[in-house]
């Protein structure tokens, strides 16, 4: 089942696809949120690897670059997320979000609270614990290295083109579609992370990073897990910014273990279980 939501003004759209419903009322539903310039296809390798009974709902966000950057000139990114979640008959118990999407989820949790969620999985989020972590070299790295990040996403796709010139052209096209406003939304969320009040995100969290990621650094993933009240970090060796594509089996195993910790043998939530620092 798929649904779409189109806000006024043609600023983009959010979509939701129910890959499979939860088997029962006590089985968790997992919602998947992709990152900037990516699509819902990045989750393909994880969907069928979910534990039996768990439901899977995939959200398509306007920051996939397919419809340009008008979304970035409208509401805060977390408003788009809220619109997507309202399209589902049953909100997800667990959110799994990647890259910029992970930062949008984190921003929503800090702004609106974590009521209604059993847990969240943040895959390669962007984080710094102190404003001192931002200077001109950091801005230069994330601005001038932005095409490299997009290039990594293109190469990580199944059947990604080995032709370097074609990959460069595709990355440039995606960058231009995201536009300066899209990049500013990304860096605004990232540079605002030191000011987030993470104390209210009091639910089990799993932070997944890639050991070879040069955008969401492993040290930053560990720092975020350290600063969240109930979180742990897992850094996957040999993976870059897309661990769910670089190593879908291990990423799926981490997700399955996280869900198992959240749900008891009888399907009921387990108080106090989940993630540990």
With contact defined as beta carbons under 8 Å apart, do 190 and 125 qualify?
no
Spatial separation of the C-alpha atoms in residues 177 and 64, rounded to whole Å: 9
Band of pLDDT at residue 265, cut at 50, 70 and 90: very low
Q: Whole-model pTM?
A: 0.89
| Residue pLDDT, tens place only, 202-227 | 999 999 999 999 999 999 999 999 99
Q: Which residue in 205, 164, 186, 166 sits closest to 61, CA to CA?
A: 186
| Residue pLDDT, tens place only, 81-105 | 999 999 988 889 999 999 999 999 9
| Residue pLDDT, tens place only, 107-116 | 999 999 888 8
Domains and CATH numbers, the chain: 2-262 (3.40.50.1820)
Write a three-state SS string for 18-78: EEECCCCCCCCEEEEECCCCCCHHHHHHHHCCCCCCCEEEEEECHHHCCCCCHHHHCCCHH
In this model, does residue 12 exceed pLDDT 70? no
Q: Please give the average per-residue pLDDT across 164-181, as a whole number.
A: 86
Q: What is the pLDDT of residue 120?
A: 97
Spatial separation of the C-alpha atoms in residues 87 and 67, rounded to whole Å: 20
Q: Please give the average per-residue pLDDT across 70-81, as a whole number.
A: 90
- Nearest-5° Cα angle at 229, 55 to 260: 30
């Amino acid at each position: 089942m798929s649904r779409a939501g189109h806000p006024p003004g043609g600023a983009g759209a959010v979509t939701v696809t129910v890959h499979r419903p939860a088997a029962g009322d006590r089985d968790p539903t997992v919602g998947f949120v992709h990152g900037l310039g990516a699509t819902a296809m990045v989750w393909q390798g994880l969907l069928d690897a979910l534990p039996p009974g768990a439901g899977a709902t995939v959200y398509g966000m306007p920051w996939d670059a397919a419809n340009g950057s008008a979304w970035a000139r409208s509401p805060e990114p977390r408003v788009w997320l809220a619109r997507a979640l309202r399209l589902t008959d049953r909100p997800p118990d667990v959110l799994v979000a990647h890259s910029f999407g992970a930062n949008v989820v984190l921003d929503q949790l800090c702004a609106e609270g974590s009521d209604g969620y059993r847990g969240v999985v943040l895959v390669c989020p962007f984080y710094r614990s102190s404003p001192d972590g931002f200077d001109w070299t950091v801005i230069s790295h994330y601005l001038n290295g932005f095409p490299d990040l997009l290039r990594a996403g293109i190469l990580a796709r199944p059947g990604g083109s080995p032709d370097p010139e074609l990959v460069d052209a595709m990355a440039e096209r995606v960058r231009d579609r995201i536009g300066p406003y899209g990049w500013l939304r990304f860096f605004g969320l990232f540079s605002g992370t030191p000011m987030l009040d993470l104390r209210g995100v009091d639910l089990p969290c799993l932070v997944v990073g890639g050991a070879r990621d040069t955008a969401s650094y492993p040290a930053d993933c560990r720092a975020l897990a350290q600063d969240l009240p109930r979180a742990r970090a897992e850094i996957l060796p040999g993976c870059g910014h897309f661990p769910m594509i670089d190593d879908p089996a291990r990423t799926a195993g981490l997700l399955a273990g996280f869900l198992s910790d959240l749900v008891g043998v009888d399907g009921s939530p387990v108080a106090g279980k989940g993630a540990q620092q």
